[in-house]
Amino acid sequence: MPEAWWKSAVVYQIWPRSFADSNGDGVGDLPGVIGKLDYLRTLGVDAVWLSPFYRSPMDDMGYDISDYQDVDPVFGTLADIDELIAELHARDMKLMIDVVVNHTSDEHPWFIESRSAKDSPKRDWYWWRPSRPGMAPGEPGAEPTNWRAAFQGSAWEFDPATDEYYLHMFSRKQPDLNWENPEVRQAVYEMLRWWLDRGVDGFRMDVINLVSKFLPLVDGKPVPGTRFGDAWPQVSCGPRIHEFLHEMHLEVVAAQDRVLVTVGEMPGATLQDAQLFTDPVREEVDMIFQFEHVDLDHGPGGRYDPKALCLTDLKASLARWQTGLADRGWNSLYWDNHDQPRAVSRFGCDDPEYRVRSAKLLATVLHLHRGTPYVYQGEELGMTNYPWSSLDEFRDLDSLNYWAEAVGRGDDPGKVLAALRAQSRDNARTPMQWNGSENAGFTTGKPWIPVNPNCAEINAEAQLTDPTSVFTHYRRLIELRHEVAAVVHGDFTMRLDDDPHVYAFTREYADERLLVLANFDDHERSVELPDADEWTGAEVLISNYPDEPGRWTLRAWEATVLRRAPAPAVHEEPVPGQS
Ligand code: TEU
């Protein structure tokens, strides 16, 4: 097999609902995506990860699928997907689709059949349980376990048709599939092979570490402020997870004669888990999306209890993953996706004075790590969080459910809104800012979610031809990954571990060495490296200041990458008389 192409690739994530609307209905669609492929070619990315476009009631914006083998009419048709695959391949880009197989929609025919009767042939395709012993079905507190769903409330929904409950780790419209049943697994593998036959090049697997649960299902530790318990330790990376992923690899991936890419989204997975999941000899997945670094600004109350990020924690975390997967396995690298607030507002500074600089700094730091970088739509423009001012602007069910829960228990609505402003997933979901017109060039109709008013300043049209733009900086970073072997393969060493403001590391490959220096602060910071002398005269590979970088005195949000050129080859003079 040739070397895995995804090791030197940069992947671009498209969340189709907010990318580009071709028909004026206010919702992004597949023809809209196809119309922007030259933009992606200009950026230089190698592959697209396309978030769900399948038939769906859209309770969770497409992560609740009612037909895995069709396109939702709001996004287009199967013919559009075929065209997208062909147009991507014509531009030498790959397509990774998002597969959501921990759960289906409650409107999927499998679930409709399953819920119809206790003796339905598909009953066991989902997790059905009677009420708690001694309690009447449907009575509050009679749920089979005390588990809380990721989107608040109980993880069990009572179904009066058969007087039993079904499990849903996310919304009640997302019942969990029972992977213990081999028929379920075979149905999933068959569906994935069908997509490979259509030409897709790989899969991003939604919450795939939840498909093996610890049995029996038992109560979790109480979650403060709720009447529920924590389900996570019982459903995450259960005893059969490696077996299931290996089986999926054999049934779906190994049979192909081309190199595919698989990435498992795995909230709660540890580095030790990742070392197993991504070890190539185990044949499970190529890489995982881990959450450790994006959970560092969560307080004791979780996502909606945000606290300031401590840079030394971030450095320690990412360095552990770099080192931990250095010999076996592979990292995925990301700041942003459709579930996270915008990185520049969260880890950088979205104040106009430092927005561009800090967006470039974050990009530089991430793209110089070892692993496969993921760019989320709009990140390459330095798009920011939205200035939310009232609840009616939000669309995400997680945000709306959190509001209902928190305000319902008496939390101050102002405080709840502030938490959503910082942490809502809708920050990532406002429309892509193509130009400075009223709807940012996203739609000619009424956008399904508000457009960020800063599209007048932050938009693709203005940045494409500007050599100082965030877009141009990303483009150059992507080029570096393709041109400089040390960026892809180099060993990673964290430097200045305890410095609270400066993120510094080296990459080393053969005789090529890179030094990355980044100041996460609006004040000048100086750095002292014991081997500073060795970098005298080193080439500046990329920097976010236009003039000669400060080197050992870093200005506000300055990021620089230095390259020590390989030592010139020594040519030995042939000794006369010897051949
Ligand atoms: O996300 C899984 C996940 O655990 C989170 O990132 C989730 O957004 C968070 O718990 C909410 O607070 C995946 C998808 O990426 C997400 O969009 C889906 O909503 C979720 O699975 C269910 O399919």
pLDDT tens digit sequence for 272-294: 999 999 999 999 999 999 999 99
Task: Using the mean position of ligand 1's atoms as its centre, give its distance from the Cα of residue 425 in Å.
Answer: 9
Minimal CA–CA distance to 36: which of 25, 49, 23, 21?
21
Q: Is 150 in the pocket of ligand 1 (CB under 6 A)?
A: yes
Angle value at C-alpha 198, between 261 and 75, nearest 5 degrees: 95
Same domain, 147 and 58: no
Q: Is 303 in the pocket of ligand 1 (CB under 6 A)?
A: yes
Q: What is the CATH number of the domain that holds 549?
A: 2.60.40.1180
Cα–Cα distances in angstroms (integers) from residue 58 to residues 17, 74, 336, in the given order:
11, 10, 22
DSSP string, 251-277: IIITT-SS--EEEEE-TT--HHHHHHH
Which are the contacts of 367, defined by CB distance < 8 A and separation ≥ 6? Answer: 10, 333, 373, 474, 477, 478, 480, 481, 487
**Confidence bin at 563 (pLDDT 50/70/90):** very high
Task: Using the mean position of ligand 1's atoms as its centre, give its distance from the Cα of residue 283 in Å.
Answer: 25
The residue among 465, 483, 501 that closes a domain is 483
**pLDDT tens profile 249-271:** 999 999 899 999 999 999 999 99
Q: Tell me the average pLDDT of the chain.
A: 96
Task: Using the mean position of ligand 1's atoms as its centre, give its distance from the Cα of residue 150 in Å.
Answer: 8
Closest atom of ligand 1 relative to the 170 alpha carbon? 22
* Ramachandran category for residue 237: left, alpha or beta (phi over 0 → left; psi -120 to 50 → alpha): left
Residue 570, pLDDT above cutoff 80: no
Which residue, judged by its Cα, is nearest atom 14 of ligand 1?
Answer: 206
According to the 3-state scheme, what is the secondary structure of 47-85?
EEEECCCEECCCCCCCCCCCEEEEECCCCCCHHHHHHHH
Same domain, 462 and 518: no
Task: Using the mean position of ligand 1's atoms as its centre, give its distance from the Cα of residue 207 in Å.
Answer: 7
CA neighbours closer than 13 Å in the CB half-sphere of residue 447: 24
Which are the contacts of 417, defined by CB distance < 8 A and separation ≥ 6? Answer: 388, 390, 391
State mean pLDDT over 214-227. Answer: 94
Q: Dihedral through CA 338, CA 482, CA 6, CA 429, nearest 10?
A: 10
The pLDDT of residue 548 is: 77
Q: Residue 117 has which token pair?
A: 């009767």
Q: Catalytic residue numbers?
A: 206, 265
Site to substitute for ligand 1 among 14, 106, 148, 207, most atoms within 8 A of C-beta: 207
Which residue, judged by its Cα, is nearest atom 17 of ligand 1?
Answer: 339
Task: Please state, in angstroms and rounded to a whole number, the distance separating the CA atoms of residues 303 and 396.
Answer: 14
The pLDDT of residue 578 is: 47
Residue the block writes with tokens 């030995």: 572
Q: Is 228 in the pocket of ligand 1 (CB under 6 A)?
A: no
Which residue, judged by its Cα, is nearest atom 18 of ligand 1?
Answer: 63
Q: What is the CATH number of the domain that holds 350?
A: 3.20.20.80
Query: What one-character DSSP code corresponds to residue 4?
Result: P
Q: Is 267 in the pocket of ligand 1 (CB under 6 A)?
A: yes
Residue the block writes with tokens 């999941």: 277
Task: Please state, in angstroms and rounded to a whole number, the distance separating the CA atoms of residues 505 and 520.
Answer: 14
* Ramachandran category for residue 153: left, alpha or beta (phi over 0 → left; psi -120 to 50 → alpha): left
Task: Using the mean position of ligand 1's atoms as its centre, give its distance from the Cα of residue 333 in Å.
Answer: 17
- Other Cβ atoms closer than 10 A to 266: 23
Same domain, 187 and 255: yes
Show the domain range for 64.
Answer: 9-91+335-359+374-388+424-483
Task: Please state, in angstroms and rounded to a whole number, the distance separating the CA atoms of residues 151 and 335.
Answer: 22
Q: Is 99 within a domain?
A: no
Residue 579, pLDDT above cutoff 50: no
Q: Is 100 in the pocket of ligand 1 (CB under 6 A)?
A: yes
Task: Using the mean position of ligand 1's atoms as its centre, give its distance from the Cα of residue 115 in Å.
Answer: 25
pTM of the model as a whole: 0.96
Site to substitute for ligand 1 among 17, 65, 99, 170, most atoms within 8 A of C-beta: 170
DSSP string, 338-406: TTS--HHHHTS--STTTHHHHHHHHHHHHHTSSSEEEEETTGGGT-------SGGG---HHHHHHHHHH
Same domain, 187 and 166: no
State mean pLDDT over 319-329. Answer: 97
Task: Using the mean position of ligand 1's atoms as its centre, give its distance from the Cα of residue 153 in Å.
Answer: 15
Q: Is 140 within a domain?
A: yes
Minimal CA–CA distance to 309: which of 338, 287, 272, 341?
341
Same domain, 542 and 438: no
Q: Residue 7 has which token pair?
A: 């090791």
Indicate the number of domains in the chain.
Answer: 4
Closest atom of ligand 1 relative to the 60 alpha carbon? 19
Strands, sheet with 156-159, edge to edge from the N-terminal-most edge strand: 128-129, 164-167, 156-159
Residue 230, pLDDT above cutoff 70: yes
Q: Is 99 in the pocket of ligand 1 (CB under 6 A)?
A: no
Indicate if the alpha-carbon torsion angle 107, 110, 116, 118 is positive or negative: negative
Residue the block writes with tokens 């470039």: 360
Residue 577, pLDDT above cutoff 60: no
State mean pLDDT over 60-75. Answer: 98
**pLDDT tens profile 177-209:** 999 999 999 999 999 999 999 999 999 999 999
Q: Is 218 within a domain?
A: yes
**pLDDT tens profile 387-428:** 999 999 999 999 999 999 999 999 999 999 999 999 999 999
The residue among 178, 196, 230 that closes a domain is 178
**pLDDT tens profile 76-132:** 999 999 999 999 999 999 999 999 999 999 999 999 999 999 999 999 999 999 999
Work out the burial of residue 410: count CB atoms within 10 Å of its CB; fewer than 13 is exposed, 13-18 middle, 19 or more buried.
exposed
Contact 101, 207 (CB under 8 A): no
Q: Is 98 in the pocket of ligand 1 (CB under 6 A)?
A: no
Task: Please state, in angstroms and rounded to a whole number, the distance separating the CA atoms of residues 454 and 31.
Answer: 26
The pLDDT of residue 568 is: 57
Task: Please state, in angstroms and rounded to a whole number, the distance separating the CA atoms of residues 176 and 128.
Answer: 10
The residue among 138, 159, 178 that closes a domain is 178
Residue 137, pLDDT above cutoff 70: yes
Site to substitute for ligand 1 among 18, 230, 339, 405, most atoms within 8 A of C-beta: 339
Which residue, judged by its Cα, is nearest atom 23 of ligand 1?
Answer: 63
Minimal CA–CA distance to 489: which of 518, 515, 513?
513
Same domain, 312 and 339: no
The pLDDT of residue 440 is: 98
The maximal CA–CA distance of the chain, rounded, in angstroms, is 101
Q: What is the CATH number of the domain that holds 154?
A: 3.90.400.10
Same domain, 325 and 343: no
Which DSSP helix (H) or strand (E) runs through 415? helix 413-423
Q: Is 176 in the pocket of ligand 1 (CB under 6 A)?
A: no
Chain mean position to CA 271: 17
The pLDDT of residue 571 is: 61
**pLDDT tens profile 417-473:** 999 999 999 999 999 999 999 999 999 999 999 999 999 999 999 999 999 999 999
Task: Please state, in angstroms and rounded to a whole number, the distance separating the CA atoms of residues 185 and 183.
Answer: 5
Which residue, judged by its Cα, is nearest atom 1 of ligand 1?
Answer: 207
Same domain, 383 and 259: no
Contact 460, 350 (CB under 8 A): no
Q: Is 301 within a domain?
A: yes
**pLDDT tens profile 333-385:** 999 999 999 999 999 999 999 999 999 999 999 999 999 999 999 999 999 99
Task: Using the mean position of ligand 1's atoms as its centre, give its distance from the Cα of residue 489 in Å.
Answer: 31
Q: Is 97 within a domain?
A: no
Q: Is 59 in the pocket of ligand 1 (CB under 6 A)?
A: no
Same domain, 241 and 311: yes
Same domain, 432 and 512: no
**Confidence bin at 572 (pLDDT 50/70/90):** low
Q: Is 160 within a domain?
A: yes
Work out the burial of residue 446: count CB atoms within 10 Å of its CB; fewer than 13 is exposed, 13-18 middle, 19 or more buried.
exposed
The pLDDT of residue 319 is: 98
Q: Is 412 within a domain?
A: no
Task: Please state, in angstroms and rounded to a whole number, the distance separating the CA atoms of residues 407 and 389.
Answer: 16
Contact 220, 231 (CB under 8 A): yes
Same domain, 114 and 61: no
Q: Is 261 within a domain?
A: yes
Q: Is 274 in the pocket of ligand 1 (CB under 6 A)?
A: no
Q: Residue 349 has which token pair?
A: 């500074």
Same domain, 131 and 172: yes
Q: Is 397 in the pocket of ligand 1 (CB under 6 A)?
A: no
Residue 313, pLDDT above cutoff 80: yes
Q: Which amino acid is at 107?
A: E
Minimal CA–CA distance to 454: which of 551, 379, 553, 384?
384
**Confidence bin at 226 (pLDDT 50/70/90):** confident
Closest atom of ligand 1 relative to the 103 alpha carbon? 23
